[in-house]
Amino acid sequence: MNNSVMLSFKRGLVASVLALTAGGALAETTVTAVMHSDLRVLDPVITTAHITRDHAYMIYDVLVAEDANGEIKPQMADFTVSDDLLTYTFTLRDGLAFHDGAPVTAEDVVASLTRWGKRDTGGQLLMDVTESVTASDEKTVVWTLREPFGAFLATIGKPSAVPPFIMPKRIAETPVEQSIAEHIGSGPFRFVPEEFQPGVGVTYAKNEDYVPRDEPASGYAGGKVVNVDKVRWVTMSDSMTAVNALQSGDIDLIESMPVDLIPLLEGDDTVTVEQRSPFGFQTMGRMNFKYPPFDNPQIRKAALMAMSQEPVLAALMGDPAYYKVCGAIFGCGTRFETTTGTDTLTAAGDPEGAKALLAEAGYDGTPVVLMQPTDGPTLRAQPVVAAQQLRAAGFNVDMQPMDWQTLVTRRASQAAPAEGGWNMFFTNWEISEISNPVISVMLNGRGDQAWFGWPDDPEVEALKKEFIAASTPEDQKAVTDKIQAHAMETVSYVPLGEYNFPQARRTVLTDMQPTSVPVFWGMSKTEE
């Protein structure tokens, strides 16, 4: 296929995708974005997928939120705290209504918090010390603890992993093992179900009845003022197609811009490439603790020894300016940084040592079912490089390609690998999501209640409670040092370094919030 035919084909593909998600009057102001992943799973409690979290920020709101300075501020509710730090009282502000017209009540909040607390890592720790969460009247929620929990507000106000989004009681009462069937929030945008097509796109319309807070927007807090009529996320798994669409004006934003394609945008004054925020991501490998071969800690350790961060990061990003070799499970540059147990990861690996450990562990060649997402620039490279490294150490790797949303669904399966389950996959977390042991889902050791992989690790749970009880920063750091050593000895997961993809946007988009999570309130779109 010659270049002109290929270009025509790609333009036709863009037109088809945009036509399938199109709807409404031409006069409407619509922001069209290519996000880092297609959206398929819509329940923000049953998955930690970032695209589902991003979807939730569009249509739901939260009780309290983190501002640009990292402070927790009122959002849906004002709050007071008792002198003994055991009672938190939240009072819903006026004007809160769900998209179906029903008012937001304290009972909706209690049901939402209860469901969230069963699934979220920080929420589980918080519920461990909760006496009750009750609605004392239609606008007041009283949360009573049995003992102080120093990170209380930071946990319920955290911006990512699983924030406690508020939904109607009838929806929040859905069992946590089951996905919700309705997608109704009280947030600044409404989900448009008739324009949702997995693999094609999703549409959000401005919630005309939303009443923003009076304060200016700051981080995830303050007034969520919407200045556009619609936001459309369209799926374009081919990065070159997305870049062409950006330059032609068919789309306005590429959330994760492949670094190797940035030169194509140089000299185009209608497009800018920028970092969303100074906080990057950690990429990592997760193993399934339930089934061979990774139910054996020695074999998990052999896999860690087989891997090296530099080749993975180089394949992922290309340009060293956008990545950093880093063995700290809480992130480099954070106050809990330590690199214990990661010497081989941050060097060239130790395939010979891994081979010896495999022989000592009696590895019998059991296949490692490695799930490989084929779409999304942030997820494609890691499994390919890791498979090479594991094979070099003697592992029998069965790499199975699929799109990311299929992987997101499959990773929740506890079936045996030969029966539709899995042994290993790779994912990414914002540094802010793993920067302390209370919020990091990768350190949840509650077996079947833990994050995918389901480690049963009472020792790490005890260490987290020790962290919560620590009274000084020095005591906290001492505990996190122990957690790092323990996590690498048991191989809770394999940290593979840090990176920071830039975004690319047309300059007609202005006033975007400089947040790690892409939010669409506050922004404006001017005429071309």
**DSSP readout, 133-167?**
EEEEETTEEEEEESS--TTHHHHHT-SSSS---B-
What is the dihedral angle through the alpha carbons of 183, 188, 194, 199, rounded to the nearest 10 degrees?
A: -80
Question: How many C-alpha atoms does 401 have within 13 Å on its Cβ side?
Answer: 6
Q: Is 239 helix (H, G, I), strand (E, B) or coil?
A: helix
Contact, 326 vs 498, CB < 8 A?
Answer: yes
State residue 26's pLDDT score.
52
Provide the residue ranges of all domains of the chain, joining segments of one domain with +. Answer: 3-37+208-275+503-525, 61-180, 281-499
- Condensed to tens digits (0 to 9), the pLDDT of residues 351-392 reads 999 999 999 999 999 999 999 999 878 889 999 999 999 999
pLDDT tens for each residue of 10-64: 444 444 455 444 444 457 899 999 999 999 999 999 999 999 999 999 999 999 9
Query: What is the SS3 assignment for 84-125?
Result: CCCEEEEEECCCCECCCCCECCHHHHHHHHHHHHHHCHHHHH
Fold of 281-499: Dipeptide-binding Protein; domain 3 (3.10.105)
158-210 pLDDT per residue, tens = 999 899 999 999 999 999 999 999 999 999 999 999 999 999 999 999 999 99
Angle, helices 297-306/351-361, rounded to nearest 10 degrees: 170
The helices-and-strands tally (H runs, E runs) of the chain is 14, 21
Distance CA 326, CA 308 (A): 11
The CATH classification of domain 61-180, taken from the options 3.40.50.11810, 3.40.50.300, 3.90.76.10, 3.40.50.720: 3.90.76.10
Distance (Å, rounded) from C-alpha 28 to C-alpha 15?
Answer: 18
Centre a 10 Å sphere on the Cβ of residue 435 and count the other Cβ atoms it contains. Answer: 23
On whether the CB atoms of residues 88 and 109 are closer than 8 A, the answer is no
Quick check: helix, strand or coil at residue 434? coil
Q: Where would I find the H helices in 362-502?
A: 381-392, 404-410, 458-469, 473-490
The residues, ordered by sequence, that sit 6+ positions from 469 with a Cβ below 8 Å of its Cβ are none
Return per-residue pLDDT of the chain as tens, 528 residues.
444 434 444 444 444 455 444 444 457 899 999 999 999 999 999 999 999 999 999 999 999 999 999 999 999 999 999 999 999 999 999 999 999 999 999 999 999 999 999 999 999 999 999 999 999 999 999 999 999 999 999 999 999 989 999 999 999 999 999 999 999 999 999 999 999 999 999 999 999 999 999 999 999 999 999 999 999 999 998 999 999 999 999 999 999 999 999 999 999 999 999 998 777 999 999 999 999 999 999 999 999 999 999 999 999 999 999 999 999 999 999 999 999 999 999 999 999 999 999 999 999 999 999 999 998 788 899 999 999 999 999 999 999 999 998 999 999 999 999 999 999 999 999 998 999 999 999 999 999 999 999 999 999 999 999 999 998 999 999 999 999 999 999 999 999 999 999 999 999 999 999 999 999 999 999 976
Q: How far, in Å, CA of 262 to CA of 272, rounded?
A: 10
What gap in Å lies between CA 86 and CA 264, rounded to an integer?
56
Q: What is the pTM of this model?
A: 0.88
The secondary structure element, H or E, covering residue 428 is: strand 424-430
Pick the CATH number of 3-37+208-275+503-525 from 3.40.30.120, 1.20.120.1200, 3.40.50.200, 3.40.190.10: 3.40.190.10
Structure tokens at 125: 């720790």
Residue 315, phi then psi, degrees to nearest 5: -70, -35
Asked if domains 3-37+208-275+503-525 and 61-180 share a fold, the reply is no
| Tally of CB atoms within 10 A around 335 | 12
Distance between first and last Cα of the chain: 33
